[in-house]
Amino acid sequence: MEPARWLTTREEQAWRLFVAVLMLVPGEVEAQLKRDAGLTQVDYGVLSALSEAPGRAMRMNELARMVNGSRPRMSQVVAKLERRGWVRREPTREDGRGSLAVLTDAGYAQVVAIAPGHVAAVREAVVDALSPEQLDQLAGISATLLDALEARRSGSS
Amino acid sequence: MEPARWLTTREEQAWRLFVAVLMLVPGEVEAQLKRDAGLTQVDYGVLSALSEAPGRAMRMNELARMVNGSRPRMSQVVAKLERRGWVRREPTREDGRGSLAVLTDAGYAQVVAIAPGHVAAVREAVVDALSPEQLDQLAGISATLLDALEARRSGSS
DNA sequence: TCTCATAAGTTGTAGCTACAACTATATGCG
DNA sequence: CGCATATAGTTGTAGCTACAACTTATGAGA
């Protein structure tokens, strides 16, 4: 264990601001989804991913990767969406273990109905709030952070 | 209601990457705090804020602003920290309504013990993963997003 | 074929979070 | 003063999240 390397003033400032963003921005976007449709960001991600998938269907596993969630979480989320009639589950034909989450017509209609409001919220909270340069920077920073995370997970296991 | 303005490919790409960051990065940092001390990011924020406050004490209200949390949440968090012996609550002298959260000696020792590991996790997950330019960009972007949020809250109430 | 390891999903549980309702004190105004 | 309103904190509850344990199926190898 090396001696602790503290953060410089500049680094700490950046971190503090970023933490505030991490705390507040997701809440802003989720508030709209919750108000308009009683959905979570993850719920919306699932419905949205299914709506764009071939056959409007996906394996649970794939769905989990798609929305950056764990498998247990997918089970819970899909169970909830199933109770509301927006998704149904079918056994998989090729793999006896798997489940296939399928978007129902009601679920598709729901996505179509919600999407505009969600996009507007995303615009208001992030996209339109930043300059085009900042948005590009944000994309680059995000990609870098995700790569680093991925590298850490493969490397130091 | 204006017609929905969709996201361009570039905007959507940036948003998707950013959502992944919002989902994954907090979890990375919290995992370390949870592992080493059974603490949440907010818990740590509270202890840390108290440790730097004059008299190692703060009003609940002020504490809430400090860590970007709601007052109900502070009550819960401080109650938990109090059960663990790291914080105690006192009535306020000037204002009969208020509570004052005070960091105990054990709580201060806890902060001192944890801080280096936390800083190392923050470095690994964010600060050292980015170039100095990117870190500055991130600070700017975060400030912009927070300003926009603040403006929305004052303006459109 | 039999066995073991691995993978896909589910379930159970404990802890965290958000939101509304409630108590108590303080402040402003007629 | 006396009432109305606003503010500080707490509590209760419902829903979400993380993690471990479990079930079932696949696949690889003796």
DSSP string, A69-100: --HHHHHHHHHHHHHTTSEEEEE-SS-TT-EE
Side-chain-side CA neighbours of A24 within 13 Å: the count stands at 26
Quote the pLDDT of residue A2: 57
Q: Checking DSSP bridges between strand A99-103 and strand B57-59, what pairing results, if any?
A: unpaired
Chain B residues 87-146 with CB within 8 Å of chain A: 115-116, 119-120, 122-127, 129-130, 134-146
Q: Which domains does chain B have, with CATH numbers?
A: 31-129 (1.10.10.10)
Rounded distance, CA B120 to CA B108, Å?
19
Quote the pLDDT of residue A157: 42
Say which residues have a Cβ less than 8 Å from residue B79's Cβ, sequence separation at least 6.
Answer: none
Packing angle between helix B9-37 and helix B41-52, nearest 10 degrees? Answer: 70
In the predicted model, is pLDDT for residue A1 greater than 60? no
Which of B8, B15, B48 has the highest number of chain A CBs within 10 A, making it the mutation to test binding with A?
B15
How big is chain A by its Cα radius of gyration, in Å? Answer: 19
In the predicted model, is pLDDT for residue A155 greater than 80? no
Chain B residues 41-80 with CB within 8 Å of chain A: 41, 45, 67-69
| Phi, psi values for residue A100, rounded to 5° | -115, 120
Q: Decide if A36 touches B, using CB distance below 8 A.
A: no
Q: Using one digit for the tens of pLDDT, what is the confidence trace for A113-137? A: 999 999 999 999 999 999 999 999 9
CA of B97 vs C1' of C24, distance in Å?
7
Quote the pLDDT of residue B157: 42
Residue found under tokens 């950013």: B18
| Residue among B156, B26, B66 nearest A125 (CA) | B156
Find out whether A23 and B68 touch, Cβ atoms under 8 Å: yes
A17 C-beta neighbours (distance < 10 Å), count: 19
Rounded distance, CA A42 to CA A33, Å?
10
Q: For chain A, what's the residue count?
A: 157
In the predicted model, is pLDDT for residue B98 greater than 60? yes
Q: Which band of pLDDT confidence, cut at 50, 70 and 90, is reported for residue A3?
A: low
Quote the pLDDT of residue B134: 98
Quote the pLDDT of residue A94: 87
| Residue among B57, B21, B6 nearest B141 (CA) | B21
Which chain B residue lies closest to A16 (C-alpha atoms)? B139
